[in-house]
Structure 1
Amino acid sequence: MAEIVNLRQARKRKARADKARDAAENRALHGRTLSERARRKQEAERAARTLDGARLDPDPGEPGRD
């Protein structure tokens, strides 16, 4: 014989598991410490400075460039 399953309880169990999985993903994405956020910001700023430093100024006599 088949096991009898209460669908309401099964739906609630699945919803709790989905919610727990989403919470774990959010903790991984947003749960960084202050020092990690500061380090990441410094790296982004350094990369932006490097990119801006390597930028070539457009030739003023070249058509199509502003």
Structure 2
Amino acid sequence: MLLLSGCASTQGAAYGDAPKPLHETLVQDDQYVALVEQIAKQRGTRVVWVNTPRKRVPQAVADAR
């Protein structure tokens, strides 16, 4: 009996309000890319980006679609 009442009380938590979606976009992190390439150039090496680093940038709600 106690086991059933414990399970019944946690059902509401599983179906609580979902977190609101954040309006953000991924853009290339130009500052980080420039820093890495500058250091590589100083050391006489070359960087070949396969997947450029990206950062999340918040977007105004009116702009998000």
TM-score range, shorter chain: 0.3 to 0.5
Q: Whose helix proportion is higher, 1 or 2?
A: 1
TM-score if structure 2 supplies the norm length?
Answer: 0.39
**More contact order relative to length (CA 8 Å, sep ≥ 6):** 2
